[in-house]
Structure 1
Amino acid sequence: MTSDDTRYLRGAFIAYDPGGYPDDDDKKRTIPFRFNPEGLSRSMEIEQAQGGQGTQGASSGGSSSQSEQSADAASGALKQSFDLLIRLDFADRHQASGELDDELGLLPEISALEDLLYPAEDEADEAADDQEPVEQRAPRPTVLFVWGRKRVFPVRVTSMTVNETMHDSQLVPVRAEIEISLEVVSESEARDNRAVQDALAFQARNRRRWARMFLDRTAQQNTNILPL
């Protein structure tokens, strides 16, 4: 597929500062990927509910303890995470857009990604008397990981490793690889955040619909499956 094909979608991060969703574009930041990651590593696990017996209790207490452990695991929260590698190349960016200062190389793109780790800027962060800043811990932005039109995940950035693989004569990075780890925000943390609620609901609807499509299809097929 050629690069000028308008059907080719780019993944992106969309970050909303507090109070910015869905209508305040001044509090919305979009960071599209110049190159989509070649692959995504996604993991899901059930966190054992507090008060469970754990593996030690299961091994020493017999089948009863094993049942309790299974019940505890089933009632635990689902934890989902992503790992992805983002590649940046100044030569490619320069061909597409000349609006950014060439002397900065890839520093604008790298800084925009790093900024997802920091608390959102707020008017309360400004100095109250032009001398001392008001100390108030601002929340981090709400980040959506957009991977096509059918998958949008509310995430928090848990870690980031920036590998600057090439620099110009002024030691400004012109090629870089950024390893990013993401954790999907849970439903229990979404009560007061409409952006997270909407993204989680969107994902849940799609997951159930796609699973049902598959299950309805396989139920109609005559396969060599044991009748259970």
Structure 2
Amino acid sequence: MSSFPGSPKVLKGAIVGLDLFNPLSSVAIFQYNPEQISRSLAPQYSEAGGGRAEALRLAGPPAETISANLTIDLIDQMEQGDSGPLGAGITGYLAALEMLVYPKSLLVAANQILMQLGTMEVIPPVAPLTLFIYGWKRVVPVKIQSLSITETMHDPDLNPIRAEVSVGMKVLTYNDLAITNPGYWAFMAHQVIKEVLATVASVENAAGVFGGSTKLF
């Protein structure tokens, strides 16, 4: 990033897992914001009968997926003596991403004990509530669907010092989460912000089509 005094301050995107048992284990702040993010939206129309009058009835928000490619690099920092967390290169940064899809070891051990004691039903561990954060206008709850890591450089101890990460996410909506889940309200806030932005843009577009100018704020 440029150190020129006039350079704008760039916010860092992140993928954050909210876990009561270990709040800091799944905080992955992007070292470099991805140059490209791909989003796909599939409209969810109601399949209930009703004929032509129901053709455009929506069953809920669209099913949205997000994919991004991230670069994690420690080479420049190594020139200043930084060898990464615990001297393991970028292993710790990769682990923060990977922990988003791992059940916590304490919960796994507790379930194993319950099974040994003859518990009839053991509930599988729940993944942390994961938020994809890319600016204040885009904070959405997501479920990690794919995580691909390609380590491209290593130090003499075989610790990775550069890697390319591809992550695929499914956006969780209020149709997926209980009303008591914080992710429910995170998505509601996301949709409200989207509606406001769409309204402002539509007014400006209409003003451009019909002439004149209209300002809401």
Structure 1, unmatched stretches of 5+, are 53-63
Structure 2, unmatched stretches of 5+, are 212-217
Distance, in Å, in 1 between the alignment partners of 2:180 and 2:72 is 31
Conserved 8 A contact 2:32-2:70: yes
The answer as to 2:115 corresponding to 1:138 is no
Secondary structure, counterpart of 1:179 in structure 2:
strand
Distance, in Å, in 2 between the alignment partners of 1:109 and 1:30 is 9
Conserved 8 A contact 1:11-1:32: yes
CA deviation map 1:129-174 (0-9, x unaligned): 7xx6995411111000000122101100000111111122332211
The answer as to 2:28 corresponding to 1:31 is yes
The answer as to 2:96 corresponding to 1:112 is yes
Conserved 8 A contact 2:174-2:188: no
Counterpart residue number, 1:56: none
Q: 1:89 aligns with which of 73, 89, 96?
A: 73
Distance, in Å, in 2 between the alignment partners of 1:194 and 1:174 is 37
What amino acid sits opposite 1:2 in the alignment? S
- Range with bigger deviation, 174-183 or 117-126: 117-126
Secondary structure, counterpart of 2:151 in structure 1:
strand
Conserved 8 A contact 1:167-1:175: yes
Q: 2:9 aligns with which of 3, 7, 15?
A: 7
Q: How far is 1:2 from its partner?
A: 2.4
Counterpart residue number, 1:202: 189
Q: 1:189 to 1:10 in 2, by over 3 A?
A: same
Q: 1:74 to 1:96 in 2, by over 3 A?
A: farther
What TM-score does the superposition give when structure 1 sets the normalisation length? 0.73
Conserved 8 A contact 2:83-2:89: no
The answer as to 2:202 corresponding to 1:215 is yes
Q: 1:76 to 1:213 in 2, by over 3 A?
A: closer
Secondary structure, counterpart of 2:203 in structure 1:
helix
Aligned pair count?
A: 203
What is the Cα-based RMSD across aligned positions, in Å? 3.4
What amino acid sits opposite 2:86 in the alignment? D
| Bigger fraction of residues in helix | 1
Conserved 8 A contact 2:27-2:97: no
Conserved 8 A contact 1:121-1:138: no
Secondary structure, counterpart of 1:113 in structure 2:
helix
The answer as to 2:154 corresponding to 1:170 is no
What TM-score does the superposition give when structure 2 sets the normalisation length? 0.76
Counterpart residue number, 2:215: none
Conserved 8 A contact 2:84-2:90: no
Q: Percent identity?
A: 25
Q: 1:41 to 1:91 in 2, by over 3 A?
A: same
